[in-house]
């Protein structure tokens, strides 16, 4: 009969499992072809079991558990940890501070590396009708996924492509109009370098993010963005730490520069995030978000002391100033009060609301979208708007 041991185990006898070894000599036991009744009877008699009887599960005649059996190995206590720790002397907070300082410095140092090439990368992306395809291996790939996600959610069509999957068919998704962002700190990642011939033949522009401007990837890119760091936070200088932080920051810088170039606004963001709390809020009507109860109205003749009380008690940081006919003619914010104190100094408390207010406040209709309200506040550098329904003030909405 042929040897039942798998070939890869037969070629390595030292890893032959215990259940295939006979006690004592280590030889592999061969199962019998078909044990007959007489053989079974002899085995029972030699083990003390009478013919025709059933084995007693509690019998002490059961053979002991072999030390090298799989069950014994599973029940054996775990060996001591390979890592020696000293909880008494370790200063974990100090280690954390050092890591944060190293990674923060890595980001600060990126500013010195910014030059016309960053502008070239932004223009390259703005000028294409294609998408941005981000590609990286290992930790760089994880960072690449975040960069692609940020780009996509802020107005730049983008997705992540794993280099291994790309080399096995996913390159079919790459059109000549697409911009290829390749991330490799060394600039020599084999899985990325193998994609270069296709990308060059396909006519794709390549933006490389590496820590080595002389690397193969940097030299064969259309634009190279340096993410070089002087050292990693890892004490062994092996695990990507400061370098991945720097790469992520560079990706964020690219995304934000593109946002500003496209004038990407809050309502655009809301369209791409309809399921998020911010998206839901921006798609709401002002009516649903405004504060309409117990609004702090005061007359134009109210004293400064009364204005302070109204702003404080109203809980909105604002007082609405109305004329004798009940029409709102101005607002007084806590910022207005601080500026008035500096301007009037000793005479501040002799002033009236008419002296302290900002006339003709910015208003918005009650049925307007919240994204319009947010944009209006950003345009005027304010944090709240007076909400009107026709000519009547009905509420206040805050940023």
- The pLDDT tens digits of the residues spanning 276-316 come to 666 666 668 888 888 888 888 899 889 999 999 988 888 88
More confident residue, 322 or 101: 101
Sign of CA pseudo-dihedral 183, 188, 190, 196 = positive
Strand partners, 223: 207
Query: What is residue 277's three-state secondary structure?
Result: helix
What architecture is domain 286-398? Roll (3.10)
CATH 3.40.50.10490 assigned to 95-264? yes
Q: What is the pLDDT of residue 60?
A: 47
Which residue in the block uniquely carries the two structure tokens 């078909």?
34
Interatomic CA distance for residues 322 and 327, integer angstroms:
5
pLDDT computed for residue 17 by the predictor: 45
Residue with the bigger pLDDT between 193 and 2: it is: 193
Q: Which pLDDT score is estimated for 19?
A: 43
Average pLDDT of span 197-214: 97
**pLDDT grade for 145, boundaries at 50, 70 and 90:** very high
Note the pTM of the prediction, 2 decimals: 0.59
Q: For 346-399, how does the pLDDT look when each residue is reduced to its tens digit (9 = 90+)?
A: 899 999 988 988 888 889 999 988 878 888 888 888 888 999 888 888 889 887
The average confidence (pLDDT) of the chain is 82
Average pLDDT over residues 82-106: 84
Q: In the chain, what are the domain boundaries?
A: 95-264, 286-398
Please report the pLDDT score of residue 72 as a whole number: 60
* Res. 161: pLDDT tops 80: yes
* Residue that wins the pLDDT comparison between 45 and 283: 283
On the question of pLDDT at 328 being above 70, the answer is yes
Residues sharing a CB contact under 8 Å with residue 233, sequence separation 6 or more, in sequence order:
98, 99, 102, 103, 241, 242
Query: Using 50, 70 and 90 to split pLDDT, how confident is the model at 8?
Result: very low
Does position 59 have pLDDT exceeding 90, yes or no? no
């Amino acid at each position: 009969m042929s040897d039942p041991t798998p070939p890869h185990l037969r070629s390595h006898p030292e890893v032959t499992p215990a259940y295939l070894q006979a006690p004592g000599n280590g030889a592999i036991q061969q199962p019998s072809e078909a044990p007959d009744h007489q053989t079974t009877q002899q085995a029972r008699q030699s083990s003390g079991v009478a013919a025709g009887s059933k084995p007693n599960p509690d019998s002490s005649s059961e053979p002991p558990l072999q030390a090298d059996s799989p069950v014994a190995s599973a029940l054996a206590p775990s060996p001591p940890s390979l890592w020696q720790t000293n909880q008494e002397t370790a200063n974990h907070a100090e280690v954390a501070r050092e890591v944060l300082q190293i990674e923060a410095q890595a980001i600060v140092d990126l500013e010195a590396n910014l030059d016309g090439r960053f502008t070239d990368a932004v223009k390259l992306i703005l000028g294409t009708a294609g998408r941005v395809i981000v590609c990286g291996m290992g930790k760089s790939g994880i960072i690449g996924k975040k960069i692609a996600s940020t780009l996509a959610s802020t107005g730049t069509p983008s997705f992540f492509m794993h280099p291994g999957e790309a080399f096995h068919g996913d390159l079919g998704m790459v059109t000549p109009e697409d911009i290829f962002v390749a991330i490799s700190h060394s600039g020599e990642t084999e899985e990325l370098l193998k994609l270069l011939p296709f990308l060059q033949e396909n006519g794709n522009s390549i933006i490389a993010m590496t820590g080595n401007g002389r690397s193969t990837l940097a030299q064969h890119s259309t634009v190279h963005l340096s993410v070089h760091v002087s050292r990693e936070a890892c004490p062994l200088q092996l695990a990507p730490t400061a370098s991945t932080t720097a790469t992520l920051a560079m990706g964020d810088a690219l995304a934000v520069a593109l946002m500003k170039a496209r004038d990407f606004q809050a309502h655009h963001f809301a369209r791409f995030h309809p399921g998020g709390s911010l998206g839901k809020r921006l798609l709401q009507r002002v009516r649903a978000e405004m504060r309409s109860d117990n609004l702090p109205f005061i007359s134009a003749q109210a004293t400064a002391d009364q204005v302070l009380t109204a702003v404080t008690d109203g809980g909105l940081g604002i007082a609405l100033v109305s004329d004798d006919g009940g029409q709102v003619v101005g607002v007084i914010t806590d910022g207005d009060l601080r500026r008035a104190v500096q301007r009037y100094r000793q005479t501040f408390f002799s002033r009236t609301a008419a002296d302290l207010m900002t006339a003709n406040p910015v208003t918005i209709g009650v049925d307007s979208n919240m994204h319009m309200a947010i944009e209006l506040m950003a345009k005027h550098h304010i944090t709240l708007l007076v909400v009107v329904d026709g000519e009547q003030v009905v509420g206040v909405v805050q940023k």
